[in-house]
Chains A and B, each alone.
Chain A
Amino acid sequence: MNMTETDTRQVEILLVEDNPADVRLIRETFRDFKIRNSLRVAQDGVVAMAMLKKEGEYFSSPKPDVILLDLNLPRKSGFEVLEELRRDPDLKRIPVVVLSSSDAEKDVMKSYDLNANCYVTKPVGLDDFIRIVMSIENFWLTVVKLPPA
């Protein structure tokens, strides 16, 4: 497997997700992963942007290496977060994995049009969900070369 400089340091992940059950499942799956990582959670789009821009109480938030982004979020939608990210010169290169329960073609299309790096539909079954989260971490944390922090 292709090893990157991320092997020697902790990979920072920002999970933007409002569903507590999904947060718990994703957190547990990442905790067990072979590569050292730190997962931070933003429960809505406004908090996600504040963390990314290190605003107010989030001044010490690390810049994530990868963002996992839900679409249906309180206060500011995933699409709005994606749009703002891609316009920001400091944040535009961070890979964004859209992880959404929506299977609608228009959501898939719009995500790619806004330069999401990939679109993954959340499976309904628990085992499938864990398997998919493991695939995401395996691919993005071990195979892909992530942009320098």
Chain B
Amino acid sequence: MLSGAASKLEILLVEDNPGDIRLIVETLEEGRKDYNISVAKDGEEALNFLLKRKNFEQAPVPDIILLDLKLPRKDGIEVLKEIKENDGLKAIPVIVLTSSSADSDMASAYKNHANCYITKPIDLDKFVVTIQAIENFWFTIIKTSKSK
């Protein structure tokens, strides 16, 4: 159903917590589809990857971005802002996945055009269910733009 059904879906995970990275990557790898998952561990690295700077000249354009908010070097809201202000990147859906349930973070994310805002559940099983829900919705139902 996705426009890129024939090729692997490219996912950029922007996350600094190693436990969360492992859980998210493992859950997606056990899912129904094959993905190429790239991980950026801070906001600067994420933007270098997206803008093909520094060591990322060969980086693929992601079909979808999973973005944590509390990140070293450059925070998630800053990354989001730069993505959505960039004509070449703004059409890439950004799913904010954060431990913060503060209304101010949520309001700021939606204001800067996050495609959706999801709070990480503390409970491990619920976390997995949430990742699976993201997978079911965003990676199977949603049409992303294949224009790169």
Contact = CB atoms under 8 A, between A and B. Distances in A.
B84 A112 contact: no
Nearest to A4: B119
Nearest to A109: B145
A138 interface: yes
Interface stretch (A11-19, A31-39, A55-63, A115-123): A115-123
Contacts of B41: none
A144 B117 contact: yes
Contacts of A119: 142-144
Contact of A108 (B106, B133, B134, B143): B143
Q: A-side binding surface: helix, strand, loop or mixed?
A: mixed
A88 interface: no
23 contacts: A1-B129, A1-B133, A2-B130, A4-B119, A95-B110, A95-B116, A108-B145, A112-B93, A112-B145, A115-B84, A115-B113, A117-B115, A117-B116, A119-B142, A120-B142, A120-B143, A121-B1, A121-B143, A132-B141, A138-B137, A143-B118, A144-B118, A146-B117
Interface of A: 1-2, 4, 92-93, 95, 103, 105, 108-109, 112-113, 115, 117-121, 132, 135-136, 138-140, 142-148
